[in-house]
Structure 1
Amino acid sequence: MTIKLIQADITKLKVDAIVNAANASLLGGGGVDGAIHKAAGKELLEACKKFNGCKTGLVKITPGFLLKAKHIIHAVGPIYELHPVDIAEKLLISAYWESLQLADTVECQSIAFPNISTGVYGFPKERAAELAIHTVISFQKSNPKNINHIIFCCFEDENFRIYQKLLNV
């Protein structure tokens, strides 16, 4: 299994699944969530309405619609200030783990993650990156059946530099 770091627009990636850092309504928002909804087209909003939201730390899946990605996995990360630190960390780990598990279940070979909860949700960027990397490595050790390529896709410079440092690349 390979782990790759790139700085790019996640909506442009041709992978089996991209992860959307979604809010609990799943109806679109700012940041990467808004960008994914805009790029995927109106059908994404209609598909997401059928879920009636998603709890923090959990995920839902839709087709990629107008994106090059086959699937969009909508992961709801925690709003940092609403939880004690240990709970916020467990919820963020869950968002990554559940995304990986769902992608593997639907036979995805490649998955790309944005930075979950580090924008307006206020999760400290370096700690979020540490948890994301640790969760991916733990998942790798669980012997997934299908996933063999994981991408951390950073949009902004600061997150990219943090991942470079932590991944030694």
Structure 2
Amino acid sequence: MERFSIIVGDITQSDAEAIVNAANTSLLGGSGVDGAIHRAAGPALLSECRGLGGCETGKAKLTHGYNLRARYVLHTPGPVWQGGGLGEPALLASCYRSCLTLAAEHGIRSVDFPSISTGIYGYPLPLAATVALKAIMDFLAEHDLPERVRMVCHTEAAAEVYRQTWNLWYAGDRDDRMR
């Protein structure tokens, strides 16, 4: 799909109009992607986040990007993996949909996502990739904005899981496969 791609990179260096922060519910920074985004954006991001009153798992809130190349940050707390029987897939899908909806409402044309909940929250990467890609592709099929969405994976191994999952579900034929 022309509007969606999978890349390897550092999301804090993204040139997208908005990047997604795999946040915790306090929105006050943490480890992994969350800590990296807060460090790169600078103290003004933390100050703005303090005024937001946190965020529920599966929802999203928008802030400015401050020292980031991205103009905005979409913060979304993902679910902690507890075996999959406590609504984790629905909550994870809601993270992606909430971010994309918020982006569309604000006229944001490009969004870069990390792999939400697959770090310290322990969501198995192959399962998370299936949920993430279905939520993203379903949204893009029904909305004009954002015009470009990328999954920004921290490692080539993670990107390969996302590519294989995309190819399994969305590649019409061999020529459509992501490599």
- TM interval, short-chain normalised: over 0.9
Which residues of 2 match residues 27-46 of structure 1 at below 5 A? 27-46=28-47
1:84 is displaced (CA, Å) by: 4.8
Q: TM-score, normalization: structure 1? A: 0.95
Instruction: Give the equivalent residue in structure 2 for 1:118.
Output: 118
Which residues of 2 match residues 2-151 of structure 1 at below 5 A? 2-81=3-82, 84-85=84-85, 87-144=87-144, 146-151=145-150
| CA–CA distance in structure 2, aligned partners of residues 90 and 10 of structure 1 | 24
1:159 is displaced (CA, Å) by: 1.3
* 5+ residue gaps, structure 1: none
- Percent identity at matched positions? 39
Partner of 1:85, secondary structure, is coil
| Deviant stretches of 4+, over 2 Å | 83-86
| CA–CA distance in structure 2, aligned partners of residues 84 and 132 of structure 1 | 15
1:140 is displaced (CA, Å) by: 1.2
Q: Deviations over 1:8-59 (max 9, x none)?
A: 0000011111000000010000000000000000000000001121110001
Partner of 1:6, secondary structure, is strand
Partner of 1:55, secondary structure, is coil
- Say if 1:105 and 1:122 are closer, same or farther in 2 by CA, change over 3 A: same
Partner of 1:96, secondary structure, is helix
Max Rg structure? 2
Partner of 1:127, secondary structure, is helix
RMSD: 1.3
Aligned length: 167
Which amino acid letter does the alignment assign opposite residue 79 of structure 1? Answer: V
